[in-house]
Amino acid sequence: MNIRGDKYNLLLSACIYPLIPAVLTGCHQPAEKNERTIPNIILIVADDLGYDDLGCCGRKDILTPNLDKLAAEGVRFTNFYVTAAGCTPSRCSLLTGRYPQRNGTFDLFRNHRIEDGHQYTAVEYSTSPERILGTDIREVFFPELLKDAGYVNGIFGKWDMGQLRRFLPLQRGFDQFYGFVNTGIDYYSHERYGIPSMYRDNEPTTEDKGIYSTYLFEREAIHFIKENKEKPFLVYLPFNAPHGSSSFELGIKGTVQAPPEYLAMYPEPTSNRENRRRGYMAAVTCMDHAIGNVLALIDSLSLKGNTLVIFFSDNGGGIGSDNSPLSGGKGTMWEGGLRIPCIISWPGNIKEGQVIDNFISSLEIFPTLLEVVGIQQPDSIILDGFSILPLLKGEKNLERKEMFWDFRDEHAARIGNMKWIKTEKANGLFDLSEDIGEKTDLSKTDSLSCRNMEEQFIRWQHEMEGTDPRGPFRDF
């Protein structure tokens, strides 16, 4: 469907920064231009966003004007990967700069009995895996290094690295936290299948129950920026949108919740499939609106030229998404589960309007931030990525040579343009330079390359198994 009629164009114009007056209350005079040499950092992560589901990627049926504008002002990547097809290991790799198999968080911290509709009691939940598991406290998160360099750090949204106090953000380099602590929630009750999940700093809270979560994360990010505009700051804004709603309620489970005003931007559905797609698109547009208001505040405070903005999805698209022209989606080893949209903007430092096709991954974020800030990589940390700052600046044509995935006994590798997959449901070898949709299996006609790819995957697997073991899943 195409929603570019007059009615929807009017709604689109209202969607770009419509809350600026409210956002800027008390900021009548923009602050003087900040001359700091180290930039502010805004790192935005969407949850289960489809590869093709942004206007700047060519979509005609979805409204994302603010992310489209961000892409026009910076760089859009078409060949960007995450380390896992599920949220927890993917997000942990972002924070640690390490493969899930190296940092020890290579699966989700979640209870599986929800699949049969089981409602946990408070006592039962208190000792369940979802409650007690977390990322090894020996792991170094990049906010810890930024904090040592003088940054004030805030996270507003989905944490997912563990719920016990020792695992929470304030113990991992952040100064403020408002958000939820596990893999998914109901957007309004903030419960995960009946269990309250929202925290403020180190304490559980139900203070905002009933308010749509995207609005809350936007509100907290804006407050944090106003409060810390004179300091170098990191805003980590990991939305739960457009993840499916984690609720037992009929009519909610299996859908993506969105506010009525955003649902009204899209045509009425005529099927369950269209209903899921409509909720998904409305949640994406609401998230885009929230991002626009955060960036509008940055602009009004004369901080835009000194703020690095990074946006991407934690894994491939889920409920209601469109990953075309890729195959598969969230939870799979196909490109649709691993290749995601990514935008980076840093006005005055990165050439505007670039589209970069180089093979790049989320493992590059950690070392790139270290170089941007001027922090030397600690000798004690093995990072699995490299800084792409020279690529962003046009100084070097950098890209990955290889990448490997191992998730729930499903395996994949990419070396150059060749992709190898080995799972229970699918095996194959594909040339991504000619076959981005992974339609033509070359494993029978090029068995030598297929065997070579598998051998290199096994080599990588042995390297990961031989590293200093990390919990919670490793036996040590």
How is 222-266 classified by DSSP, letter by letter? HHHHHHTTTS-EEEEEE--TTSPP---STTTTTS----HHHHTTS
Judged against a pLDDT cut of 70, whether residue 203 lies above it is answered with: yes
Would you give the end-to-end CA distance of the chain in angstroms?
54
Pairwise CA distance, residues 469 & 476, whole Å: 7
What DSSP character marks residue 424? S
What DSSP character marks residue 100? H
Pairwise CA distance, residues 18 & 247, whole Å: 31
More confident residue, 281 or 15: 281
Average pLDDT, the chain: 92
Cross-strand bridge partners of residue 42: 235, 309
Report if pTM > 0.85: yes
Tell me how many degrees the CA angle 51-400-143 measures, rounded to the nearest 5: 75
Pairwise CA distance, residues 315 & 331, whole Å: 8
Interval 31-53 mean pLDDT:
82
Q: Residue 15 has what pLDDT?
A: 52
Cross-strand bridge partners of residue 162: 134
* Residue whose token pair is 């923009």: 30
SS3 454: helix
Pairwise CA distance, residues 381 & 219, whole Å: 35
pLDDT tens per residue, range 320-356: 999 999 999 999 999 999 999 999 999 999 999 999 9
The number of angstroms, rounded, from the C-alpha of 189 to the middle of its chain's C-alpha atoms is 22
> For residue 156, what are its two tokens?
């507003």
* Residue whose token pair is 């996270």: 155
> For residue 279, what are its two tokens?
């909720």
At 103, which amino acid appears?
N
What is the band of 425 on the pLDDT scale with cuts at 50, 70, 90?
confident
Interval 445-467 mean pLDDT:
96
CA distances from 285 to 6, 47, 357 (A): 18, 13, 26
Contact 452, 429 (CB under 8 A): no
Tell me which of 15-24, 107-116, 352-361, 396-405 is least confident.
15-24
pLDDT tens per residue, range 160-174: 999 999 999 999 999
Q: What percent of the chain has pLDDT over 70?
A: 92
At 454, which amino acid appears?
E
What is the band of 36 on the pLDDT scale with cuts at 50, 70, 90?
low
SS3 460: helix
Interval 95-117 mean pLDDT:
93
CA atoms within a 13 Å half-sphere pointing along the CA-CB vector of 159 = 33
Contact 304, 348 (CB under 8 A): no
Judged against a pLDDT cut of 80, whether residue 23 lies above it is answered with: no
Q: H or E stretch including 387?
A: none
What DSSP character marks residue 228? T
pLDDT tens per residue, range 72-84: 999 999 999 999 9
Judged against a pLDDT cut of 50, whether residue 29 lies above it is answered with: no
Interval 391-396 mean pLDDT:
96
Instruction: List CB contacts of 284: < 8 A, sequence separation 6 or more.
Output: 46, 49, 53, 62, 64, 241, 242
What is the band of 387 on the pLDDT scale with cuts at 50, 70, 90?
very high
Pairwise CA distance, residues 173 & 154, whole Å: 9
Pairwise CA distance, residues 359 & 381, whole Å: 24
Task: Specify the CATH architecture of the domain 6-401.
Answer: 3-Layer(aba) Sandwich (3.40)
Q: What's the full length of the chain, in residues?
A: 476
Domain ranges of the chain: 6-401
Cis upstream peptide for 242 (omega within 30°) = yes
Pairwise CA distance, residues 304 & 183, whole Å: 32
Task: Using CB atoms within 10 Å of the CB of residue 471, give its burial: 0 to 12 exposed, 13 to 18 middle, 19+ buried.
Answer: middle
pLDDT tens per residue, range 113-155: 887 888 999 899 999 999 999 999 999 999 999 999 999 999 9
> For residue 15, what are its two tokens?
């969607």
